[in-house]
A = this chain, B = another copy of it.
């Protein structure tokens, strides 16, 4: 992790061995990152592919990666943020990075799958999908100081 962005939260999650395959926690009421869940969906990422850049003006993202390995990059261009201009890179996935990542509204994010197979992202945002509050930039946008 090259820097920390204000409002981004990371929580390590339990992987519980059981006969036949593990149980993996994602959202639990005891977690400080728990709250209303507006929708649940998955994004599969093929190895080496990049999905970037996205930003939500109102929705908070909550990501976990139960399959594969994900590199996710965050960029803060919020004028009112104490970490404005910062880039944050974080890995999600088993065995050593099974964790919940909370991305607050107005922080840009993108991700790619590292490793041999696809990565599966599960997102449990606080609000339901609303196409009017999602923003995008091209993967090679000059507005964001990160090279994929």
User: What residues make up the interface of A, taking CB atoms closer than 8 Å to B?
Assistant: 18-29, 37-46, 49-51, 66-67, 113, 118, 120, 122, 124, 128-129
For this complex, 20 residue pairs linking A to B, each with C-beta atoms less than 8 Å apart, are A18-B43, A19-B49, A19-B51, A20-B45, A21-B43, A24-B42, A25-B39, A26-B39, A26-B40, A26-B41, A27-B41, A28-B41, A28-B128, A29-B39, A40-B122, A40-B124, A44-B66, A66-B120, A66-B122, A67-B120
Min C-beta distance of A61 to chain B, whole Å? 14
Q: Which residues of B contact A120 (CB under 8 A)?
A: 66-67, 120
Assess whether B27 is in contact with A46, with CB atoms less than 8 Å apart.
Answer: no
Q: Which residues of B contact A29 (CB under 8 A)?
A: 38-39, 128
Assess whether A42 is in contact with B19, with CB atoms less than 8 Å apart.
Answer: no
Assess whether A23 is in contact with B40, with CB atoms less than 8 Å apart.
Answer: no
Q: Which residues of B contact A129 (CB under 8 A)?
A: 28
Assess whether B25 is in contact with A41, with CB atoms less than 8 Å apart.
Answer: yes
Q: Which residues of B contact A23 (CB under 8 A)?
A: 41-44
Q: Which residues of B contact A46 (CB under 8 A)?
A: 20-21
Q: How far is the CA of A109 from the CA of B143 in the complex (A)?
A: 51
